[in-house]
Amino acid sequence: MEEFHNVCRTDELADGEGKTVAVGDKLIAVFNVEGSYHAIDDVCPHMGASLSGGLVENGIVTCPWHAWRFRLADGAWADNPRIKIGCYPVRVLGDVVQVQTPDAAPKPSSGAIP
Ligand code: FES
């Protein structure tokens, strides 16, 4: 079952800024765009920069290392929308920002029979 996880308070994320949060073993970049919150994978698929530190303009974050651009609405690479990174539902309850992530994948079996 997919669950919403508390990731930060609204006053910890100013308009136009991003923040890296950890949900389980996944790093997620959460952004505040004029009071609308978005969540995508934090790790850039190019060489691993943190996308939360990127410039946000017109609903797109630009990676701070080599300027790959990702849409906050759906995680699509703006220059080739067939390629996408993870994008997660966000909600605000009171002053708490919550992100919904899929359950962790089951660990592969060792093949041992108990
Ligand atoms: S690490 Fe993001 S564009 Fe290179």
pLDDT digits (tens), the chain, 114 positions: 679 999 999 999 999 999 999 998 999 999 999 999 999 999 999 999 999 999 999 999 999 999 999 999 999 999 998 999 999 999 999 999 999 998 755 555 555 444
Ligand 1, from 43, 61, 66, 80: best to mutate by most atoms within 8 Å of Cβ?
66
Phi, psi values for residue 35, rounded to 5°: 85, 0
Is the whole model's pTM more than 0.85, yes or no? yes
Q: Which CATH class is domain 3-101?
A: mainly beta
> Residue type for 34, please?
E
Is there an atom of ligand 1 within 6 Å of 78 CB? no
Delimit the domains of the chain by residue range. 3-101
Ligand 1 contact via 88 beta carbon (within 6 Å): no
Distance CA 27, CA 93 (A): 21
